[in-house]
Structure 1
Amino acid sequence: MFGGRKNKGNNEEKASSLMTPANSPTSGGGSVTGFDSAGLERAAKAAKDLDNSKNAKAAIELIKTQELTKQHEASMKRAEFDAMNKQMELQRVEKEGDEARKTLERKSQYDRQREEYKDQLDRKKLADQLQAQREMQMESLKKQEEAVLRQEKIRRETAAYEADLKSKADIAKAKAEAEGRIKQERANHDLAIEKLKIKAKEEKDALIESVKDSTKQVLEGLANYVSDTERLRNTALTGSAVALGIYTAKVGTGVAGRFIEKHLGKPSLVRDTSRASVSKFISAPVATTKKILGMNDATKALDGIILEKKLSTQLEKVAVATSNTKKNRAPFRHLLLHGPPGTGKTLFARNLAQNSGLEYAILTGGDVAPLGKDGVTEIHKLFDWAHTSRKGLLLFVDEADAFLRNRETEQISEDVRNALNAFLYRTGTETDKFMMVYASNKPEQFDGAITDRIDEIVEFELPGEEERRKMINMYIERYLNEPASAWAKKVVMDGISESDIESVVGLTEGWSGREISKLAIAWQSNAYGTAGAVIDKEAFMEVVEQQRNANTTKNVWLDKARADMLAKDGKD
């Protein structure tokens, strides 16, 4: 295209050169108007010469052919130029599309980053809110505990203040009454003395007259009695028979009483026993007779007790050894069971006695101190009673540390010290009559002589996860699914699944067996508070939370009591 234009320009230039004369105004000597007439003449002449030439037609055809060729080339150039323009337009559109796509991607990435950042901000905000709620709950719980402690402190201070006021008021009242009586007696002193003198004189005169009359009557009766010999003999025989009867009845009654007390009575120190007594004969004669004759079936020592496997194995060996000891009439070995409260120590002691064929008796260490001077006598009565057991007696001392404290380091009264000495005297030698089983939360407070008498020590720990799971299922079966009482209604557990029970296993960590038993009883009580004895999932978990809060409060009280005791000991 551009070549065509160039050739066209050359032809025009040639035509101009032909049309422009040498003397034209444009060439140096042209006219005023710029029109070159000589050029036209030359052109006309050249055209005339060209027409007259024999090759004119061929030259014209050649010129036409060249012109068509040039036009075709120009068309091709224009087509190429148009194609190039279209290609450039496509490249521009493609580039704009790439730029738009990149812009969209950048926008999408920006939006995504913005959403992620917003999500992070929301998560952080939610975490901060949860943390703030937890802190508020902890602060609320702390304030509640502080409020409970303050209320308890105020209650104690109020009680002490009231007691002090009452004591002062009683002292003031007694003092006022005493002063009033003193003033009254001083005011009526002379009158009272005169009345006493008159009364004494009258009583003296009456007594003298009475003595005179009595002496006269006695002398007359004695003179008549002495004069009758038969009456004297009968009187002597009757008096001797009466004295002999009184003495015989007194001795026989004492022997019978001691026999009944040893065999059918129960010492005052014994809280509970499997041995027969007069009251048991009256209330349940058949069952008591079966126990005396040994007709009851022995149960296993660990029935109803869920313990850790290693501890269960140890206790089974103790039960078997105790049973064989009884059968072979060998001396019993004394046992110490120690650990937190509610871990099954008392229950095992009872089952041990039943499984080994022994009778059992339970006493509490705290019952000895209130006896005072009678403590020694009651200790001897207890062991005399134990020696009369035909089967052998398992003597279980619960809370033994309350009585068997170290005599050298603990502050104990003289009466308790004497009772402890009597206890040590009666347990100092081996015997096949009774077996001592001590239970304590603080065995380190035992007297050294008691520790020396212990042959085997068994530690009861708080139940682990597996033991708690078994306990919860056992107590649910006992108190909810199949209550033992014939008149008790079965509890309906609505919507409570195995996962709910499993969550309770985790929430009861650190609980004793007694606390888990109380939890099941609380479930039962909650269900019996409804019309159909129904407990749903919400009430089920709410009871657990209530028991957890109650246990926390109890632990706070215990910790405060221990702290107060330690502070008091430090001051002492």
Structure 2
Amino acid sequence: MSWLFGLNKGQSGAPPDAPVPPAPPPPAGGSGSGDKPKDKWSNFDPTGLERAAQAAKELDQSRHAKEALDLARMQEQSVQLEHQSRVKEYEAAVEQLKGDQIRIQAEERRKTLNEETKQHQARAQYQDKLARQRYDDQLRQQQLLNDENLRKQEESVQKQEAMRKATIEHEMELRHKNEMLRVEAESKARARVERENADIILLTETEDCVCVVCVCVCVCVCVCVCVFSRLLLFVDEADAFLRKRSSVSLTLPHCERISEDLRATLNAFLYRTGEQSNKFMLVLASNQPEQFDWAINDRIDEIVNFMLPGLEERERLVRLYFDRYVLEPATGGRQRLKLAQFDYGLKCSEIAKRVEGMSGREISKLAVAWQAAAYSSEDGVLTEAMIDARVDDAVRQHQQKMDWLHGEGVLDNEGRPTPTKGSAPPLKAQEVLRPLQEVPSDRSKPDGTPV
């Protein structure tokens, strides 16, 4: 079969019908071990080998011998590739098995950590429980000691009180009768005044929780309308709990979603203020009216806009706070503050022109800064230069605040809100509520009080 390896490709082989040479005689066997090979090959049929040799000779003489060899090689390569793919599959299965083992180990470790955490928590809770029990026992023991001491003190003064009791008992009885008569008369008079006069109740934001304020407002409206004859309810910073019920807004895309408690409170408030009433009037104050819910805007009858103080208002405010924080401490009391000689009226007018754009609160803080500058000086004298320096600082700080607002996209050059990138421009309160004001309604009836 040398033609399979390309060794006798150019040589001419034996003719197809050439006889096959006989097999060589078997070698001389030994003594006892030669019987076994003889038995093994005794029944062997060489016909198959002869046919294979004959076919190999014919294939070697054929012109397609090279193609047959290439085909055999390709088949061998295919078998090798198949074996390699099986090896890769086995390796992938091994890697997957390793990954599963790692995952199982990590899962077991996580479960172990969870169990350890639970055990630590249970131990800590048990220790805390024991500490609380010990503390409660100490408190009970201390209370018992206090009760015992108190009982002894009461027993010590009981004899003295028994002697005084007979003397003051009649006096207390008369005093109690007089007090009851006075309380009854005052209650009747107060009830009569409350029924006859219009009641004005001022509610201030003394609670930290917004929901508590909302509930108080709703309860106040319901109870006062039922009990009293008239009610004027003023709510400052009303946008804190009357804001929009949805977080999607064109003018305020960044507003947060309100809680369910606040939503329920707002719905109750809207339910109580849905119809016109001549029993109460609701006044809402807010720095951001665009945050009101549309149902609240629909209930508003009249809008009063308070702009920043103008030149005349600023001059009046400057003079007012200058008198309160500078002139009064300098002329009255201990006179620990002294004021230099200059034209105070002219200086107030000049300051009013320089503080354009400031609010009344900023002007009041500026006056307090003048007073602090005088107290912190060496001689306690407030000079014109010190006033100008504080005014310059206040103007610079105000400009810095405006720059911060401009940087956040909150205000424009005229102090109006500007939209952020990708959002619609905000509307003014008048533009938001103008359609509601133009629509004719029966809220202007004489018997109805505007909300």
Give the TM-score taking structure 2 as reference length.
0.42
Q: Which structure: greater helix fraction?
A: 1
Give the alignment's TM-score, normalised by structure 1. Answer: 0.34
**Max Rg structure:** 1
Higher RCO, Cα 8 Å, sep 6+: 2
